[in-house]
Structure 1
Amino acid sequence: MNLPMNEKRYRVLVLCTGNSARSQMAEGLINAQLADRFVAVSAGTQPAGYVHPQAIAALHEIGIDIAAQRSKPAAEFKDMSFDVVITVCADAAENCPVWLGQGQRVHLGFPDPAAAPPDEQAQQFRIVRDALQQQLLGYLRQWRPDAQRRNHDH
C-alpha cells in the first residue's frame, strides 16, 4: 500500500484473527464502495494463509472481486500508519498489537461465518457481508479524521 504523500484518501486497517473471511470481505467492500475517501488493507493476528472461498463468492455475488487478495499477518504493516484500525472479531480486539495504536481504533464485531456448518456457510457469509456493508461501511461514511479518538485499551 504505497500511497503518494498528497493522497487524500484515509488509510484503514481491518484486523481479524485469521484474515480469511470477515476482514477480507471488509477490505474488498471498503476499496470497492468507499474508494473516494478510503484505501483499506486487512490482516490477521494469526493469519490462516488463504482467503475463504465463500468470502470470495459472497462478494462476487455483488460484483466485487477479492480473488487476488491474500491472507496477511498484522506484522506486515508494522511500519505503516493508519488513520483507522478496525477490529472485526473479539480475539483481534483483545490481541491487537500495541504498535497499531497510532490511528483511531474501533471494534465492530461480526460473527465468524466460517464457523457455521458447511451447508449453512454460503448463507452465513452473505449475512455477514450484508452486515459489514451496513455497519462497517456506515461507520466509515460517518467517520471524520478530527473525531474524538477512542481508547479501547483495557
Structure 2
Amino acid sequence: MQVLFICTGNSARSQISEGVLRSKAGNMVDVYSGGTFPAKQVNPFAIKVMAENGIDISKHYPKSLDQYLNKEFDIIITTCDRAKQSCPIFPGNAIRYHWNLDDPAEVENEEERLLAFRKTFNEISKRVDDLMEVIRHLNSNKGKSQQEKPFLVLNSDES
C-alpha cells in the first residue's frame, strides 16, 4: 500500500501526516509526502509537536512532487486547497481524499502558533485513524475486482 500526502511547502501538514501514518501503520504502508512548492526546511514547530507525541521527524526534509510523478500510489491525500488546485496527475487509479487543514505556520504569535500546530496534529491524528480503517479494508480486499469493493467515505472536506 502506497500513500502520498501533499501540501504546498511540504514543511508542516503533509510532514505531520506522513509521520503520524508511518507511526500508526508501521510496515503495512509505504508513506510519502511532497509539496507543490517545497520549502527549504521542515517547520521547527512541526518537529517540536511531533516530538511531544513521540514521533521523530527531525531528519525529514521538504520534497518536490516532481520526484513522484512517475510513481503509482494507492491513496493520495491533499492537505490544503492550494495543493489540491495545483496537484499534478499521477499514473494509476489512486483513491483521492482532500483534507482542508488550516496552515498552522500562518499564525503570527509564536505561542499561539505552537497551539495551532498541536491542534493540527490532533486533527491529523484523528483523520489518520479513519484512514487506517480504509487501509485495513483495502488490504483485506486485495485481489478482488473493483466491483466487489464497497465504496468507503473517509472524513473529507471535498467541496
Could you give the per-residue CA deviations for residues 66-101 of structure 1, whole angstroms, max 9, x where no partner exists? Answer: 011110000111121111000000111111102356
4+ residue runs over 3 A deviation: 146-150
Q: TM-score, normalised by structure 1?
A: 0.84
Q: How does 1:35-114 map to 2 (within 5 A)?
A: 35-99=26-90, 102-114=93-105
Greater helix share, 1 or 2? 2
3-state SS, counterpart of residue 132 of structure 2:
helix
Query: What is the identity, as a one-letter code, of the residue corresponding to 1:72?
Result: K
Contact 2:69 2:90 in 1 (8 A): yes
User: Scaled by the length of structure 2, what TM-score is found?
Assistant: 0.82
**Count of aligned positions:** 141
Superposed, 1:127-138 pairs within 5 Å as 127-135=119-127, 137-138=128-129
Structure with max Cα Rg: 2
Q: Residue by residue, what CA displacement relative to the aligned partner does 1:104-150 show, whole Å, maximum 9, x if unpaired?
A: 11101111000001321111100000100012x12312213345489
- SS across alignment from 2:26: coil
User: What is the RMSD computed on CA atoms of the aligned residues?
Assistant: 1.9
Gaps spanning 5+ residues in structure 1: where?
A: 1-9
Structure 2 residues without counterparts, runs of 5 or longer: 139-148, 154-158
Aligned to 1:18: 9
